[in-house]
Amino acid sequence: MLSIKDLHAGIDEKDILKGINLDIKAGEVHAIMGPNGSGKSTLASAIAGKEEYEVSKGDIELEGESILEMDPEERAHNGVFLSFQYPVEIPGVSVTNFIKTAINQTRKAKGLEDMPAGEMLKKIREKAELLEMDRKFLSRSLNVGFSGGEKKRNEIFQMAMLEPKLAILDETDSGLDIDALRIVANGVNKLKSKDNAVLVITHYQRLLEYIVPDYVHVLMDGKIVRSGGKELALELEEKGYDWLKEEVGA
């Protein structure tokens, strides 16, 4: 699904990622953990193609094809979804209309006609039900006055509708409350399948109690310094990051 090879990336001449290697297969959930400033969000941005980040070396392949030359929109059309990519408020555009447009744009990019209205409606209902969203929420203006939990719910709804091949959830360090965590985790767990993959990025182990990863990688100073199973997350929760820093001499 995703193959990252010796990726070096940075911003304004500053190297942030210093040789990342990562392979994610369909059906797998990977977690990236690491201290603040280690480059987690930069990695998410580099995969999604945010233009301020410059890749100086290495490659990112999605299903065997390099995506480095694609802009963020093309990557999204090819099945890469990054949470928090569109937290914009759009008064007058409802949650439903926003996602309809996004879906039809993706189809258009693939040379397909708009999704028939009936099919769209059915899909919206199905996903809204799966995520336990109420009807009123769907007709609200996008992100306007949304609580943190509602923003999360909307993102997971977008993800459910778009059915990405690779979903990247960068949970940032701002801290989600427990309800928002559950919303994200339930949504992700329900959408997981053998055909898609999930990359969860988190500073804390908390989220991983709900979304159980197959693999955990620790990022420090722009490099993956350790990989393991879900027990690695527990070890980090217990012991913090300092012991590992010492061990790897970071």
The dihedral formed by the CA atoms of 76, 24, 192 and 119, expressed in degrees to the nearest 10: 30
Closest approach, Cβ 249 to ligand ADP, in A, equals: 19
- DSSP string covering 15-62, please? EEEEEEEEEE-TT-EEEEE--TTSSHHHHHHHHHT-TTSEEEEEEEEE
77 binds ligand ADP (CB under 6 A): no
Name the packing angle between helices 178-191 and 148-162 (round to 10°).
Answer: 10
39 binds ligand ADP (CB under 6 A): yes
Helical ranges in the chain per DSSP H: 40-48, 72-77, 95-109, 117-130, 135-138, 148-162, 178-191, 230-239, 242-248
238 makes contact, choosing from ligand ADP, Mg ion, none, with CB < 5 to 8 Å by partner type, with none
The rounded Cα 106 to chain-centroid distance in angstroms is 18
C-alpha to C-alpha distance for 56 and 8, rounded to whole angstroms: 6
Site string for Mg ion, 36-55 (x = CB under 5 A): x---xx--------------
Q: Which helix (H) or strand (E) holds 201?
A: strand 197-201
Closest approach, Cβ 151 to Mg ion, in A, equals: 17
Residue 173 structure tokens: 């360090």
Contact 57, 46 (CB under 8 A): no
Closest approach, Cβ 157 to ligand ADP, in A, equals: 25
11 binds ligand ADP (CB under 6 A): yes
Residue 163 or 221: the one with the smaller Cβ distance to ligand ADP is 221
Residue 51 or 231: the one with the smaller Cβ distance to Mg ion is 51
Residue 42 or 158: the one with the smaller Cβ distance to Mg ion is 42
Site string for ligand ADP, 19-38 (x = CB under 6 A): ---------------x-xxx
Residue 51 or 231: the one with the smaller Cβ distance to ligand ADP is 51
39 makes contact, choosing from ligand ADP, Mg ion, none, with CB < 5 to 8 Å by partner type, with ligand ADP
Contact 34, 242 (CB under 8 A): no
Closest approach, Cβ 15 to Mg ion, in A, equals: 17
Query: Which residues from 3-42 bind Mg ion, rule CB under 5 A?
Result: 36, 40-41
Residue from 30, 40, 75, 127 in contact with ligand ADP (CB under 6 A): 40
